[in-house]
Chain A
């Protein structure tokens, strides 16, 4: 952003393709671990809520409060325990996925019509079979909608973890700010947005593949 310097220097981009690829892998890894672990925890908590509705408000309160705490503050508050590490980044990222994922899993499973459940029971399904073969498949569209939101926001939040030494594309943004170099800033920001859009499109495809009955004939 010095005078006479173009907004984007394409020669810099061409010369840093290897590093961009490496940051992409890092960004995808950070996101996939967070959404993966977040999903497993959220699924367990959602099943707990469905079995014991009384637990819904305390679980929503805790995950809602975690969601309200600004990401940078949450990462920093974890530093005394887990240092400037991958673990710190992941604990923060996982916490942010929980509220959205739990809400959608619960909403999806509760949305399965009662007569469908009755029919499944009548056909001799045990509660466990009914969950995996009737309730979860029917809830899948709503569940994946939650995974999409969680994935997109996690991809955005990963950039902030650059401040605690992780970061994927966020690294470019941080270094771009420090060196006052617009090319690096814009590459970091644009790659992160592009990754979010690509991940969202992939999840839409996945949803269509997994729930063919929701497709219009």
Chain B
């Protein structure tokens, strides 16, 4: 098929590695936006999830936030984010996409942090209390390490979703790899379109594999059950 040849030619053309539309620039923009959104979402989701899990409060909310999150489609989030960013004077591109990505990334992490913390054996926590470990120490030294596999699984789900959805940022004049897809569709340049789609797919799979590896490395050998809520 000539499209494969055209796409291969697109990838080896040095012109696609120069200037503001260079492959490495687009990959960097994509990762930069995704990483920032994921970090901010984690800073919101994990403390809330750990707190709710530690105290056992609002369990219904913590578990259902994931279901609500699923009902909010990525394109709809972007649609809601655009007027918000505009009202805040943040313009187009990066910020509206960022505003759409953060709420997308919160639910899996929050729910998994909650479920992971709740699953810790109450006897273990009672013994820790008996040994004189404070509440913060219990969270940090017992609940978090034991919940870590689930927390990281939630992070992986969020990260893959964020990388996938960051592509849509190109619709609102953002950068990243979605640029090639949106421009390729608009200009009917199928080599560019196909190259963009391949790059996005590879990046998403790379993120999935990287987080999966990290998950295995960070999990204490005694905990390797391989099961996750997501």
Contacts and interface: CB of A to CB of B under 8 A. Distances in A.
Interface stretch (A69-77, A109-117, A120-128, A207-215): A69-77
Given A76-B193, A174-B171, A177-B171, A149 B70 contact: yes
A189 B193 contact: no
Interface string A166-208: 0000100110110000100110111011001100100000000
Interface string B174-208: 00001001101100001001101110110011001
B71 A200 contact: yes
Interface in B101-133: none
A69 B80 contact: no
A156 B79 contact: no
Contacts of B160: 68
B137 interface: no
B163 interface: yes
B82 A72 contact: no
A152 B83 contact: no
Nearest to B172: A177
- Among B70, B76, B78, the most chain A Cβ lie within 10 Å of the Cβ of B76
B181 to A, nearest CB: 6
Nearest to B205: A68
Nearest to A156: B73
A80 interface: yes
A19 to B, nearest CB: 17
A204 to B, nearest CB: 11
A35 interface: no
A11 B165 CA distance: 32
A181 B13 CA distance: 38
Given A72-B197, A77-B194, A79-B194, 9 more contacts: A76-B197, A80-B194, A156-B74, A156-B75, A159-B76, A163-B171, A163-B182, A186-B83, A193-B71
Contact of A70 (B1, B3, B190, B204): B204
Interface residues of B, number: 41
B75 A160 contact: yes
A173 B76 contact: yes
A1 B197 contact: no
A152 B70 contact: yes
Contacts of A176: 79
16 contacts: A70-B165, A70-B167, A70-B201, A73-B164, A80-B3, A80-B190, A80-B194, A156-B73, A159-B73, A159-B75, A159-B76, A162-B75, A163-B182, A185-B80, A185-B82, A186-B79
Interface of B: 1, 3, 67, 70-80, 82-83, 86, 160, 163-165, 167-168, 171-172, 178, 181-182, 184-185, 190, 193-194, 196-198, 200-201, 204-205, 208
B79 A185 contact: yes
Contact of A76 (B79, B165, B194): B194
Contacts of A193: 71-73, 76
A193 B160 CA distance: 22
Contacts of A77: 194, 197-198, 201
A164 B198 CA distance: 17
A7 interface: yes
A27 to B, nearest CB: 11
B226 to A, nearest CB: 12
Interface string A59-97: 000000100111111101101100000000000000000
A72 B200 CA distance: 9
Contacts of B194: 76-77, 79-80
Contacts of A196: 71, 73
B83 A73 contact: no
A42 interface: no
Contacts of B208: 68
Nearest to A77: B197
Given A79-B193, A192-B76, A193-B76, A163 B185 contact: yes
